[in-house]
Structure 1
Amino acid sequence: MSWSQPLGGVVPPVCTPLDAAGEVDTASLARLVGHLVDGGVHGLFALGSSSEVAFLTDRQRALALETVVEAAAGRVPVLAGVIDMTTPRVVEHARDALAAGADALVATAPFYARTHPVEIARHFRILRERADLPLFAYDLPVCVHSKLAPALVRELAEDGTLAGLKDSSGDEGSLRRLLVALGGRHGRADGPAPAFSILTGSELTVDAALLAGADGVVPGLGNVDPAGYVRLYDAVRGGDLDTAVKEQERLVELFGMVDAGPEGEMGRNSSAIGAFKHALRLLGVFTHGTTADPQIPLGTEPVALVERHLRTAGLLPVR
């Protein structure tokens, strides 16, 4: 399978709701898919970082992906994260994703062992050969300890190994260099890899990335406010930059919920994922705000802060 046009728009990394026992809450997950599709998103990324993919068992991963694919019902493409430490394990996840009906795969570079760029390229090429689905690279050096160099990404784009890139490196300069190397803002359609899609993972600089030539965004916060990110995307694409900046600034304020958990008591991942999940619970999408072990759950005061952010952003009525 291949796409003749780059995937663009808003593609949220779908949170995985868990019940009080820590098992996948399929009813809440189906509601979330409906919430996202009704919000106008252009695709769904199941089993990404905001999905807590690294915390889920293989059984839970399979159930979550099957639920997302079934609930999406072909209305938007579903990208399946096949993230794992080594190529053989990633290939196994890819085969499961293909069987589940996913439309594309998302994989990081290998991790645990130190990996040379030649081995990273081989990893992606093996995966593409053994799973007949479009493959997106996930640049996430904070977790995998390898930064995907623009030259390597371009090479894999030009030879058809990669259909796209989700850039969560936080290196805006590197992203801009890649965009320029692939043809720049106005030359992407005629560039060296015209069907290659570049998606930013930075919720806070979407307007700038789109203006630079990115095709879309994969925002964790998009679980909470998908319609806001769709409005932002549409405003940039329509040339209404004042509206785009205003919407981006509102979303920056809303993003403040990720710091609701006290820094001295829990990790930032616990705080951010817990905030997204409790926000979805407050919005009536999730039944529980449970996060996977060993993440620390949010207490009463942090949840109240999440609620205040929702009200300020206009997602809940102001009291």
Structure 2
Amino acid sequence: MTFPAPNGPTGVSGVVPPVCTPLTPQGEVDVPSLLRLVDHLVEAGVHGLFVLGSTSEAAYLTDRQRRQVVQEVTGHVAGQLPVLAGAIDMTTPRVLDHVAAVTAAGADAVVVTAPFYARTHPAEIARHFRLVARRSTVPVIAYDIPVAVHSKLPAGLVLELARDGVLAGLKDSSGDLGGFREVVTGARGLTGGAGFSVLTGSEVVVDAALALGADGAVPGLANVDPHGYVRLYRLCRAGDWAGARAEQERLCALFGMVGVGDPARMGGGSSAIGAFKAALHLRGIITSPTTAAPQTPLSPPETEQVGKYLAAAGLL
């Protein structure tokens, strides 16, 4: 895949894992582990990498650490496949600073949410994306994640911005399959947005999203089992829907690991990220399962449960 022109179509498709950020017990980026993880993903045949998203714990990283992650990953893959980088922050001026930093560090595209903290009108969200695209030297992909930013990107707004060449794609983590379908269907009829990429952020309905016409998936669980998601993508593209369903159901069972954390003492995010990192640690890919403060780490019994999920999936 290539990113041929600023703010133009990315043509991004396939499996694009949102890369976990391995940390040392002191909370610094563990670069050797990060590069081993990247190699694990590339060797599995993924089609791109997304750094500095939710699964990357981008909200917990300092600006220095964000730049470090992008520089290390882009330098390591050396153009083998595209690297998308989150430029996620509360307001347009802060997002523009991140856009400048991650593109200087080598990102091939930026992934941007709606503004958050203050309640934002759809017209202001549209202005936000237009201002970002005007300043960005690489394509801009919208990130629809209302659980984090408290705003749902309306399908009509996404398609309008795609038609105007403002957005090159959408990563949809809204959980709204009907709205996702509306974007996929509408993207087919775009006159000025040829190549607009629509990607699902779900782990559990990738087969359904691809059947609807999605271009690819950005599943956090692909850190743990990238081979499974690449296999699922290939089965779908080959039209083997029975095989795809079986592989998706295996991955759904594996995804159960995100619930191992005790909800009486940690949030769902701590449990999910903790499970992914514990799985990567158990598989020997990263050195430490450390998650960023103030997230609560998994207990030894919870980590043991992660191991059982891996074993059941044939990964341990």
TM superposition score normalised by structure 2? 0.96
1:8 maps to which of 3, 13, 16? 13
Offset, 1:276: 0.3
Match of 1:247 in 2: 247
In the aligned structure 2, how far is the partner of 1:80 from the partner of 1:51? 10
Q: Is the 8 A contact 1:166 1:199 kept in 2?
A: yes
- Pairwise mapping of residues 105-254 of structure 1 onto structure 2 (< 5 A)? 105-183=110-188, 193-254=193-254
In the aligned structure 2, how far is the partner of 1:52 from the partner of 1:304? 23
Q: Is the 8 A contact 2:163 2:191 kept in 1?
A: no
Match of 1:277 in 2: 277
Offset, 1:62: 1.0
1:34 maps to which of 35, 39, 49? 39
Code of the residue aligned with 2:22 in structure 1: it is P
In the aligned structure 2, how far is the partner of 1:4 from the partner of 1:74? 18
In the aligned structure 2, how far is the partner of 1:73 from the partner of 1:192? 31
Offset, 1:182: 2.1
Offset, 1:4: 5.0
**Is the aligned partner of 1:78 residue 2:99?**
no
Q: Is the 8 A contact 1:258 1:275 kept in 2?
A: yes
Code of the residue aligned with 2:160 in structure 1: it is E
Offset, 1:194: 2.2
In the aligned structure 2, how far is the partner of 1:44 from the partner of 1:299? 30
Q: Is the 8 A contact 1:182 1:192 kept in 2?
A: no
Code of the residue aligned with 1:163 in structure 2: it is A
1:10-39 deviation line (CA, Å, top 9, x unaligned): 000000000010110001000010000001
Code of the residue aligned with 2:256 in structure 1: it is G
**Is the aligned partner of 1:20 residue 2:25?**
yes
Match of 1:305 in 2: 305
TM superposition score normalised by structure 1? 0.95
Code of the residue aligned with 1:172 in structure 2: it is L
Aligned length: 311
Offset, 1:72: 1.5
Taking only aligned residues, the RMSD between alpha carbons, in angstroms, comes to 1.1
2:73 maps to which of 43, 55, 68? 68
1:187-241 deviation line (CA, Å, top 9, x unaligned): x6x7663210000001100000000010000000000001100000000000111
- Deviating more after overlay: 260-269 vs 196-205: 260-269
Offset, 1:131: 1.2
- Deviating more after overlay: 152-161 vs 65-74: 65-74
Code of the residue aligned with 1:310 in structure 2: it is L
In the aligned structure 1, how far is the partner of 2:152 from the partner of 2:256? 27
In the aligned structure 1, how far is the partner of 2:23 from the partner of 2:209? 33
SS of the equivalent of 2:203 reads: coil
Code of the residue aligned with 1:308 in structure 2: it is K
Match of 1:43 in 2: 48
Q: Is the 8 A contact 2:9 2:168 kept in 1?
A: no
SS of the equivalent of 2:55 reads: helix
In the aligned structure 2, how far is the partner of 1:204 from the partner of 1:191? 32
SS of the equivalent of 1:40 reads: coil
- Deviating more after overlay: 23-32 vs 5-14: 5-14
Shift in CA distance, 131/191, structure 1 to aligned 2, threshold 3 Å:
closer
2:61 maps to which of 47, 56, 61? 56
1:49-105 deviation line (CA, Å, top 9, x unaligned): 000000111111111111111121211100010000000000000001111111000
In the aligned structure 2, how far is the partner of 1:290 from the partner of 1:312? 24
In the aligned structure 2, how far is the partner of 1:169 from the partner of 1:289? 27
In the aligned structure 1, how far is the partner of 2:79 from the partner of 2:186? 33
Q: Is the 8 A contact 2:168 2:193 kept in 1?
A: no
Code of the residue aligned with 1:160 in structure 2: it is G
What 5-or-longer segments of structure 2 have no aligned partner?
none
Code of the residue aligned with 1:151 in structure 2: it is G
Code of the residue aligned with 1:271 in structure 2: it is S
